């Protein structure tokens, strides 16, 4: 296998997911780097097969069949391309989230300080945080112990205290951990890996306490000072343990690891890297969501108060479109989901339908009403997962000099949300419900509604969830990965224009004028949603939005004109005159029906029609 970027011409990449292993073929064609082949097979990490490579090989064979390129020898080993460039591959790479991904427990002293930093380190490394415990989380010790006892994490991360500060509280957290004695998920004989990234003066105490139940790895403090976060060393330690402990103990992974000369990455870490690369290259603020069957991952890159691009990732472990669909129902409530529907449905019918989806997760909507119901669930899952993301994507203001230990407990005044919807440039949706929505305008509306987009936002979807593959490929050949990202991965749907304005404005009032390449395209009207498809044939165009009032903010500040180059896509410019936050008026059946009609999602009489598929 080759890893030198210049020598690469054909690269095979898999993402071993919880249910499906997806293989993609990337090739250097006459037309540049392209995604040229794909294959899928059920993931085989669980019993009865219990060997991830079986599913991977099945996906390779489908790539062979569909692309016509021979990539496997008769003994299932890779054909490495040599003299004949039409056969074989130069490199194999993989990401993995099979078996539930990387599952972690984090513990800290102050929830909004060390624990949050620990969560960010774990999430940034691609983990699912199963539980976050803090000395100030309001629970009694026995409650924390009981909770931890029932968790089987792959890795534990303990933090707390600034360097040189008090050691007492973080050692107490270690005591709680030893009292709970959680067992690692894999390997009966495996000692639980614990990363300590807290006050360096407490490291030896923590090691002494935990040595009976854990293998303790000490790294630099994630919060060495009140105003400084340093999650890099903890994140690297998580990656190393993921490979040395979690991967090597998962069924079949020792074989998979031997197939590739490049480290297997946790799927979300690979996606995060790809999103970061895109944000850095374009200088944009980006929000990317991957809504799956069981979980929803949110990635963001926003500028902090110092103007530096800061990336964050969260995973909402129980928000999803199939396995977790009933949990969206529990968290959003029947009314939360119904408010997005353009038709009447009984509460009991809605509940039973979503429960049936939960127990038969592979079924798909066959009627428009059923499709709209799933898309309503998606809006709520997006909304809930963004809320979760905002609570963790936090910036810390730097004011070192005058601070004392008491300030640790007054973090509120120095923390600020990094996510600023008015400053968001691009949103990328991924996951079946968004990528494979029958109409792109449906995907656009789900993101506009679910995220409550504001200002001018470029809308895009990941065509076939290629971001993990490109993320790991990017670690070897960033330029090629970026080329495929632009040409085959991201599909630009259109642009959302959503002014924010005072509540006193009346419905029907014109809020702003829209221009494409200096030609007026239309207006944004308070309370209305509209779509304008430009006659411009080029994908890119210059969009200008001119507010009609000083109080109307399109993202450039109240009353300020916004002008930027956008990619129009199939849906052109979608203008949303509904104010943010949404008013209750937006959530009537007739209001939703009007939105659907204006976007061409239903005809005048189509809302109650069930198309029965009768021949």
Partner 1 sequence: MSNGALTPGLCVSGSVTVRKRRELPTKSGTVKVRPGERVNPETVIAEALREGELRIVKIPEILGITPEDAIEKIIVKPGDDVARGDIIAQMRGLWGLFKTEAQAPISGVIEFISQATGHIGIRAPADKISVRAYISGEVESVDDGRGAVIKADATLVQGIFGVGGERNGVISLLNVEASNKITEADIPETCAGEILIGGHSPTLAALRLAAKRGAVGFVTGSIDDTTLASYVGYDIGIALTGDEPVAMTLIITEGFGELPMNERALGLLKQAHGCAASINGATQVRAGALRPEVITKRSSTLESADLSGAGVVQGALRVGGRVRIIRVPFFGLQGEIVELPKEPKEIATGALARVALVRLAELSGETVVVPRANLEVVG
Tell me: does residue 327 bind partner 1 (CB under 8 A). yes
Could you tell me which of 352, 317, 326, 293 has the C-alpha nearest to residue 103? 317
Tell me: does residue 610 bind partner 1 (CB under 8 A). yes
CA distance readout (Å), 206 to 195, 211, 278, 606: 10, 8, 40, 65
Residue 374 or 483 with smaller CB distance to partner 1: 374
42 — phi, psi (to 5°)?
A: -60, 140
Gyration radius from the chain CA atoms: 25
C-beta of 540: minimal distance to partner 1 in Å?
28
Contact with partner 1 (CB under 8 A): which of 313, 339, 353, 469? 353
C-beta of 284: minimal distance to partner 1 in Å?
31
Residue 323 or 505 with smaller CB distance to partner 1: 323
Tell how far CA 397 is from the center of its chain: 26
Tell me: does residue 235 bind partner 1 (CB under 8 A). no
With H, G, I as helix, E, B as strand and everything else as coil, classify residue 598: helix
Over the window 284 to 303, marking each residue x when it contacts partner 1 by CB under 8 A and - when it does not, the resulting string is: ----------x---------
Over the window 436 to 475, marking each residue x when it contacts partner 1 by CB under 8 A and - when it does not, the resulting string is: x-xx------------------------------------
Contact indicator for 294, 283 with CB cutoff of 8 Å: no
C-beta of 38: minimal distance to partner 1 in Å?
12
Residue 141 or 540 with smaller CB distance to partner 1: 141
Over the window 189 to 228, marking each residue x when it contacts partner 1 by CB under 8 A and - when it does not, the resulting string is: x------------x--x--xx--x----------------
Written in H, E and C, the secondary structure of 256-309 is HHHHCCCCCEEHHHHHHHHHHHHHHHHCCCEEEEEECCCCEEEEEEEECCCCCE
- Count CB atoms within 10 A of the CB of residue 409: 11
Tell me: does residue 15 bind partner 1 (CB under 8 A). no
- Give the helix ranges, DSSP H, for 33-189: 52-67, 116-124, 141-149, 168-180
Contact positions with partner 1 (CB under 8 A) in 19-78: 19-20, 39-43, 45-47, 58-59, 61-62, 65
Residue 48 or 138 with smaller CB distance to partner 1: 48
Contact positions with partner 1 (CB under 8 A) in 304-323: 318, 323
Tell me: does residue 163 bind partner 1 (CB under 8 A). no
C-beta of 43: minimal distance to partner 1 in Å?
7
How far, in Å, CA of 513 to CA of 469, rounded?
41
Contact with partner 1 (CB under 8 A): which of 4, 244, 364, 487? 364
C-beta of 16: minimal distance to partner 1 in Å?
12
How far, in Å, CA of 316 to CA of 393, rounded?
14
Could you tell me which of 260, 261, 257, 267 has the C-alpha nearest to residue 99? 267
Distant-in-sequence, close-in-space partners of 592: CB < 8 Å, separation ≥ 6: 339, 340, 341, 342, 586
Could you tell me which of 364, 314, 294, 356 has the C-alpha nearest to residue 19? 294
Q: Which stretch binds partner 1 (CB under 8 A): 182-190, 394-402, 466-474, 491-499?
A: 182-190
Residue 345 or 511 with smaller CB distance to partner 1: 345
Tell me: does residue 360 bind partner 1 (CB under 8 A). yes
CA distance readout (Å), 334 to 5, 381, 581: 52, 13, 20
Q: Which stretch binds partner 1 (CB under 8 A): 103-111, 416-424, 435-443, 520-528?
A: 435-443
Tell me: does residue 487 bind partner 1 (CB under 8 A). no
Concatenate the DSSP letters of all residues of 143-165 into one string. Answer: HHHHHHHT---SEEEE--S-TTS
Tell me: does residue 181 bind partner 1 (CB under 8 A). yes
Q: Which stretch binds partner 1 (CB under 8 A): 355-363, 406-414, 546-554, 563-571?
A: 355-363
C-beta of 437: minimal distance to partner 1 in Å?
8
Over the window 127 to 156, marking each residue x when it contacts partner 1 by CB under 8 A and - when it does not, the resulting string is: --------------x---------------
Contact with partner 1 (CB under 8 A): which of 70, 330, 405, 570? 330
Could you tell me which of 422, 607, 457, 453 has the C-alpha nearest to residue 543? 457
């Amino acid at each position: 296998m080759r890893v030198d970027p210049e020598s690469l011409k054909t690269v095979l990449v898999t993402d071993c997911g919880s249910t499906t292993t997806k293989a993609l073929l990337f090739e250097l064609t006459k037309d540049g780097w392209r995604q040229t082949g794909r294959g899928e097979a059920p993931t085989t990490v669980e019993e009865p097969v219990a060997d991830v490579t079986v599913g991977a090989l099945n996906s390779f064979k489908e790539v062979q069949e569909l692309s016509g390129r021979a990539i496997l020898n008769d003994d299932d080993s890779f054909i490495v391309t040599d003299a004949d460039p039409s056969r074989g591959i130069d490199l194999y790479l993989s990401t993995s989230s099979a078996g539930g991904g990387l599952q972690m427990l984090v513990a800290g002293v102050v929830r909004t300080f060390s624990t949050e930093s620990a969560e960010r380190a774990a999430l940034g490394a691609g983990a699912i945080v199963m539980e976050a415990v803090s000395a100030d989380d309001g629970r009694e010790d026995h409650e924390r112990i009981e909770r931890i006892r029932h968790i089987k994490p792959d890795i534990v991360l303990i933090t707390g205290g600034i360097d040189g500060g008090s050691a007492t509280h973080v050692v107490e957290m270690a005591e709680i951990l030893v009292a709970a004695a959680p067992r690692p998920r894999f390997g009966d004989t495996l000692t639980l890996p614990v990363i300590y990234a807290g006050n360096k003066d407490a490291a030896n105490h923590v090691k002494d306490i935990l040595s009976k139940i854990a293998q303790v790895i000490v790294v630099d403090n994630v919060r060495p000072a009140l105003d400084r976060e340093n999650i890099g060393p903890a994140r690297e330690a998580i990656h190393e343990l993921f490979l040395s402990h979690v991967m090597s103990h998962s069924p079949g992974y020792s074989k998979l690891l031997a197939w590739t000369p490049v480290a297997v990455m946790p799927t979300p870490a690979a996606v995060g890297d790809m999103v970061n690369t895109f944000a850095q290259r374009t200088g944009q603020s980006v929000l990317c969501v991957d809504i799956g069957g069981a979980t929803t991952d949110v990635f963001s890159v926003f500028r902090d108060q110092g103007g530096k691009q800061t990336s964050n990732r969260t995973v909402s472990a129980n928000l999803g479109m199939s396995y977790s669909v009933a949990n969206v129902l529990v968290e959003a409530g029947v009314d939360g989901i119904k408010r997005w529907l353009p038709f009447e449905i009984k509460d009991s019918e809605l509940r039973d339908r979503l429960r049936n989806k939960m127990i038969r997760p592979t079924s798909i909507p066959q009627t428009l009403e059923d499709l709209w119901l799933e898309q309503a669930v998606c809006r709520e899952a997006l909304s809930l997962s963004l809320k979760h993301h905002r609570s963790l994507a936090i910036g810390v203001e730097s004011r070192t000099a005058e601070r004392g230990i008491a300030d640790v407990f007054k973090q509120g005044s120095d923390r600020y949300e990094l996510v600023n919807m008015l400053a968001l440039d691009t949103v990328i949706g991924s996951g079946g419900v968004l990528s494979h929505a029958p109409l792109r305008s449906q995907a656009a509306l789900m993101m506009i509604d679910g995220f409550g987009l504001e200002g001018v936002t470029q809308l895009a979807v990941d065509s076939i969830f290629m971001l993990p593959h490109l993320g790991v490929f990017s670690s070897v050949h960033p330029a090629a990965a970026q080329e495929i990202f632009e040409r085959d991965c991201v599909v630009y749907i259109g642009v959302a224009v959503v002014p924010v304005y005072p509540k006193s404005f009346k419905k029907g009032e014109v809020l702003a004028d829209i221009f494409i390449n200096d030609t007026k395209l239309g207006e944004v009207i308070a309370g209305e949603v509209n779509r304008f498809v430009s006659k411009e044939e080029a994908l890119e165009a210059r969009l200008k939005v001119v507010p009609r009032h000083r109080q109307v903010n399109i993202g450039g500040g109240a009353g300020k004109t916004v002008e930027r180059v956008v990619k129009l896509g199939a849906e052109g410019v979608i203008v949303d005159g509904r104010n943010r936050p949404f008013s209750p008026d937006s959530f009537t059946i007739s209001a939703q029906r009007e939105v659907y009609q204006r976007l061409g999602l239903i005809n005048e009489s189509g809302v109650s029609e069930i198309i029965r598929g009768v021949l």
